[in-house]
Amino acid sequence: LDAALSLAEKFQPLPVEADAADFVEKALAARQPGGAFVLYHSIMWQYLPRATKDAIAATLEQAGREATAVAPIARLRMEPRDPTKKWAVLSLTLWPGGETRRLANCDYHGRWIEWIG
């Protein structure tokens, strides 16, 4: 936690007010050549309108087709998968390839994590 707080102090995050789909599109367009791009989200997907979800997915798929091993794109998310379950699922989609892996079941508030191997 101390290391994370130190990084946040050194590289202060700038809140951005934007439509989620527009934000993802602009962030992907501004990525650095030869660098990895990671989109992370947690417990927010369920609140987006269907059109926004579809736009983000399409933008990621398009960018993923251009991803390389030197400049990969990842989507890491902790989201509810089944509303009847009392946990979220941590999943990773990685391009090139576009394969999605389920990594863990997680408590919504970080009290526990069950890694899936």
Name the band, by pLDDT with cuts 50, 70 and 90, for residue 80. very high
Contact 23, 17 (CB under 8 A): no
Token pair listed for 28: 């992907």
* CA-based R_g, the chain, Å: 15
β-pair partners for 92:
76, 101
Give the domain ranges of the chain. Answer: 2-115
pLDDT of amino acid 103: 97
pTM: 0.85
Token pair listed for 87: 């946990």
pLDDT of amino acid 12: 83
pLDDT in tens, 32-53: 889 999 999 999 999 999 999 9
Q: Give backbone dihedrals phi and psi of 13, rounded to 5 degrees, phi first.
A: -65, 145
pLDDT in tens, 84-102: 888 999 999 999 999 999 9
